[in-house]
Amino acid sequence: MASANKADYVWMDGKLVPWDAATIHVSSEAVLRAASIFEGMRAYWSDKDKELYIFKNAEHLKRLRQSAKILRLSIPFRDEELTAGFIELLRKLEFKDGVHFRPVVYFDEGEPYAWKPEDISTRVFVLAFSRPHEASISKGMRSCVSTWRRNSDNASPSRLKAAANYHNSRLATVEAKLNGFGTPILLNDRGKVAESPGSCFMMVRDGTVVTPPVTSDILESITRSTLIELYRDELKVPVIEREIDRTELYIADETFFCGSGHEVQPIISVDHYPVGDGKVGPLTRKVQELYFDIAKGNVAKYRKWLTPVYGNKR
Ligand SMILES: Cc1ncc(COP(=O)(O)O)c(C=O)c1O
């Protein structure tokens, strides 16, 4: 069993551990200096297939390895072992609904700032919780431009999915909430649109989807690449990756966030400027529907993106 933020089990260092026993030491580098990397992944339940599908497992593992490489951290498990761990945990928690799960690799105890991976031990855990769609994905969200800037590549690279980057995310999120908004949009150091605290950004202008390039201080989002592919190949909508100015947010026809956790999240106003007619736009809605259809196993061509958890036959 698992609820929003508690579960009976956690996968830790190769085995299932009861929730209360899943602890790490206060002196670990993860606790002292947020020295960890992670992935935020989803699995989708199909009532029709009686199956839970992990979405783009291989892509998440690849990005986890890229984060590890940048941080010079070695992951003490092979991809197949991690995948088996995800499946073991999700099966044990008997999910039959939408799941969000998070593999975390962290520096444990050792010399602070040890530069050689072998000088400091690394460990892994995986948390999994039920996570239904957020209500705002159907009605849209009011956003704003944050006064905080996104971490820059030469300081604390956003390309690296490190826990420490989410300090920046927290500052921006809390500020936006205090000001009565939903999720904010962060500009980068150059003043161009980067991303949200936990998702990427896309807009539609005159029938073309526009999204910042991966050099705009963003996480190289798996949902972003997925949607670019779906727009081009399935919906026959052109997509451009280019820098976005702040004022383009105020005159765009449609705007939305995308990410594994936040899925396809329409934005209906930015800084109190209505986006388009102030309602969820048609190209946002279309890609959202297609994305969910694929994630739930309804589109044969894209089953290659899914990893079944229970192994039920079709
Ligand atoms: C800062 C940030 N940007 C973008 C994303 C979207 O990435 P993905 O689509 O791979 O989940 C996330 C979520 O994981 C994120 O935390």
Q: Taking the domains of the chain in order of start, what are their residue ranges?
A: 9-130, 136-295
Best residue among 61, 153, 200 to mutate for probing ligand 1, ranked by most atoms within 8 Å of CB: 200
Would the CB of 223 count as within 6 Å of ligand 1? yes
198 lines ligand 1 (CB under 6 A): yes
Q: Closest by alpha carbon to 277, among 176, 140, 183?
A: 140
Q: Which residues, other chains included, contact 180 with Cβ-Cβ below 8 Å and sequence gap of 6+?
A: 142
CATH of domain 136-295: 3.20.10.10
Q: What is the pLDDT of residue 312?
A: 76
- Regarding beta strands 141-143 and 263-270, do their DSSP bridges make them parallel or antiparallel, or are they unpaired? parallel
Q: Ligand 1, atom 15: nearest CA belongs to which residue?
A: 198
Average pLDDT, the chain: 95
- Please state the length of the chain: 314
Q: Tell whether pTM > 0.85.
A: yes
Distance CA 131, CA 253 (A): 30
Q: Tell me, what's the pLDDT at 120?
A: 84
CB distance 199 to ligand 1 below 6 Å = yes
Same fold flag, 9-130 and 136-295: no
Ligand 1 within 6 A of CB of 222: yes
**HEC string for 171-199:** HHHHHHHHCCCCCCEEECCCCCEEECCCC
pLDDT at residue 88, as a whole number: 98
Instruction: Check pocket membership of 202 for ligand 1, CB cut-off 6 A.
Output: no
Ligand 1 contact via 195 beta carbon (within 6 Å)? yes
CATH-assigned architecture of domain 9-130: 2-Layer Sandwich (3.30)
pLDDT in the model for residue 119: 78
User: For residue 63, which atom of ligand 1 is closest to its CA?
Assistant: 10
Block means of pLDDT (10 residues each) for the chain, length 314 residues? Answer: 78 98 94 95 97 98 97 94 98 97 93 70 96 95 98 96 97 98 98 98 98 98 98 98 98 98 98 98 98 98 98 68
